[in-house]
Each structure stands twice: as C-alpha cells, then as structure tokens.
Structure 1
Amino acid sequence: MGSFRAFLNSPIGPKTTHFWGPVGNWGFILAGLADTQKPPELISGNMTGVLCVYSALFMRFAWMVQPRNHFLMVTHASNECVQLYQLSRWAKSQGYSQKKEGKATS
C-alpha cells in the first residue's frame, strides 16, 4: 500500500498533468494502429512525418525534464514506432522504396 500511495503522490503521478498528458497521447497511438488496416493510399505523408518529428522531440523532452518522465517517453516511443511503420507503408505506396530500373548497361 505504501508504494501505491507514493505513486499517487509522486510529481508524475495521476494527480498531475504529467500523467494525464501521456494518457491522452495514447489516442495517437491507437489511431495509428487502427489505420494500419486501411489502404496506404489514405495515409498523409505530411501528417505522418510531422507526428514522427513531434514524438522524437518529445521523447528527448521526457528524458531531460526533471523529474524524468518515463511514462511520457514510452508513450512517444510507441507513437514513433507506429508512425514510422505508417510512413514506410506510405513510402512504399508512393514508389519510394522501389529499385530504380532505368538505364541498361552496355
């Protein structure tokens, strides 16, 4: 019971926005996971790229802020993984990952 009470009263516990912010960010992750079942032609490359940069920046923030917020970091690392997967699906559908079949060598 003592460790649960310590968690409740910690600077990053559920009584603070440092806890509820990451909980809210799981919406991005769940939406990204749901979108993996949709055709890659529906993916916005711009938005997915922005979400990748956003999560990368906030992973660093979560690591540097004091007290260190591991929950926020795991949230953004999870989102980074989902968004990078979506970005790879988008890139394949746009033809970015195909080998160039151009000039024949003589």
Structure 2
Amino acid sequence: MATSKLQALWNHPAGPKTIHFWAPTFKWGISIANIADFAKPPENISYPQQIAVTATGIIWSRYSTVITPKNWNLFSVNVAMAGTGIYQLSRKIKNDYFQEGEPVAAKE
C-alpha cells in the first residue's frame, strides 16, 4: 500500500520529477522565514514586503485550485504564506495604530 502511494506521488504530473513540485517546495523557505520573523519587533516589519507575501499567498492559493492537475503542495505553501503575511500585517497595524498609551516622541 505505502509503495503504491509513494509510486503514485513519484509519477504524479506535479510530482518530484517536475518543476511543479520543486518550486513550491523551495517557496516554503519564505513562509519559514516569515515564521522566524514572528520574534522580530513590529517596528521592523515592512508593509510592502508583508503585503506582497499576503497577496501572493491569496492569489496563488486560488490559482492552485483551478489548474489541472491539482497541485496541493502549491496550495498549502500559499495558504501558509497568506496566513503568516496576514499575521505579520496585523502585528504591524496593531503596533502602528492601536498601541496603548501615548506615542513615544522621536529623539533628536
């Protein structure tokens, strides 16, 4: 049973013998880096970068469900990208616009 599942993955049109497998696999590095940045202070988060990560995740998640053959590796990595991007944007927005207390004056 396990051999046939492994063989099916190996011979799938989006399997490890094609770029359709390796491109999304390496794209996981972006999501992992974004997760590592959860420890980064919100002041150091970039709006353009996180908007790009989020938009890419949302757009390509949708695309990966309409192409043939279905590429679930592409779908999962883009859902992860959208999720981490939304989380980082929420941290940045919360810090910039909803921070409790008075804003800290800039030092001259």
| Secondary structure of the corresponding residue to residue 25 of structure 1 | helix
Show the counterpart of 1:14. Answer: 16
TM-score for both structures, normalised by structure 2: 0.85
| 1:30-69 CA distance string (max 9 Å, x none) | 1100100010000001110111111111011111110011
- Choose the corresponding residue for 2:29, options 18, 27, 36: 27
**Does 1:71 find its partner at 2:73?**
yes
CA distance in 2, matches of 1:43, 1:98: 15
Q: CA RMSD in A?
A: 1.4
Residues of 1 paired with 2:27 and 2:50: CA distance? 15
Hey, what does 1:102 align to over in structure 2?
Answer: none
Q: Distance in 1 between matches of 2:99 and 2:38?
A: 21
Q: In structure 2, how many angstroms separate the alpha carbons of the residues matched to 1:91 and 1:19?
A: 35
Partner of 2:57: 55
Matches of 2:40 and 2:23 in 1, distance apart?
27
Provide TM-score, normalisation by structure 1: 0.86
Which amino acid letter does the alignment assign opposite residue 28 of structure 2?
Answer: W
Q: Matched residues in 2 for 1:71 and 1:17: separation?
A: 12
Instruction: Please state how far the C-alpha of 1:98 moved relative to its aligned partner.
Output: 6.0
How many positions carry a matched residue from both structures? Answer: 98
Please state which structure has a larger fraction of its residues in helix. 2
Hey, what's the Cα distance between the residues in 2 that align with 1:87 and 1:27? 19
Post-superposition offset of 1:92? 1.0
Q: Compute the displacement of 1:78 (Å).
A: 0.9
- Structure 2 residue runs of 5 or longer lacking an equivalent are 101-108
Output the amino acid matched with 2:78. H
**Which stretches of structure 1, 4 residues or longer, exceed 4 Å deviation after superposition?**
none
Q: CA deviation at 1:19?
A: 0.7
